[in-house]
Amino acid sequence: MWTVRAMSALSGISIRTLHYYDEIGLLRPAEIGENGYRLYDEASLMRLKSILFFRELQFPLKEIAAMLGQEDFDPREALSRQITLMEMKRQRLERLIALARKTLDEGGNIMDFKAFDDHVFQQYAKETKERWGHTEAYQAYEKRGASDGPEVQQAMMGIFAQLGELKALSPAAPRVQEKIEALRQFITAHFYPCTKEILQSLGQMYTADERFRKNIDAAGGEGTAAFAEKAIQAYCGEK
């Protein structure tokens, strides 16, 4: 059993914050001593870690509390989603760094703010919140996954397999770009009109979300997902 100070030292968060988290019911002490002291245990530490991961991803504390409170909340699934979200953040950071470097030595395009865009992350964050929020939107999400018949999936993986064979080329090479165009038309034909923006979002999902990445790499060989993302960037990049 640890006091607030010990918890603070272990985790690096402030005592005030622990008080606050208690106050809003986000992290209640395991026990209250006779003297009124807050006492925490190992379960508290684990919960705190879960909280910190979500906080890192700028989830509002109230929603974190709500999610952790759900009976069907699954720490492992949460962790897996958190990893995906962190990968997305990292990719955004990399785009920002690239933009900054370009601005520094080329001057760059004044009106280019694309790198600041956040909606891929926000979208997946929303889905995650809905995962433990039981909204209608999640129902729709569940269904969508099921409605993709296996033959459609396989056809799409065929495109990635072809793309995988071109990994040695530059992502911007014409033969590669052809495949991206084919991918786009395939999506338009089978799912929804695939604008460049949507395509770009998908590209990021391919590398950030493990489920996508594994499937794609299985179809086209190690690194195909990453290659696809770069090719998509090139496709969408210079208008």
Binding site for its own copies (CB under 8 A): 10-12, 42, 45-46, 49, 52-53, 56, 76, 79-80, 82-83, 86-87, 89-90, 93-94, 96-97, 100-101, 103-104, 110-111, 113, 116-117
Site string for DNA, 185-204 (x = CB under 7 A): --------------------
Q: Which of 37/116 has CB closer to its own copies?
A: 116
What is the bridge-based pairing of β-strands 31-32 and 38-39?
Answer: antiparallel
- Choose the one of its own copies, DNA, none that binds residue 19, judging by a C-beta under 5 to 8 angstroms depending on kind: DNA
Contacts of 214 (CB under 8 A, 6+ apart): none
The alpha carbon of residue 141 and the mean position of all alpha carbons in its chain are separated, in whole angstroms, by 16
| Minimum distance of DNA from residue 44's CB (angstroms) | 13
Q: DSSP state, 235?
A: H
Distance, in Å, from the CA atom of 114 to the CA atom of 168, rounded to the nearest integer, reads: 28
Return all residues near 83 (Cβ < 8 A) that are at least 6 apart.
210
Angstrom distances, CA of residue 29 to CA of 33, 52, 112: 10, 16, 48
CB of 132 to its own copies, least distance (A): 18
Among its own copies, DNA, none, what does residue 11 contact (CB within 5–8 Å per kind)? its own copies
**Please, which residue, 19 or 114, has the CB nearer to DNA?**
19
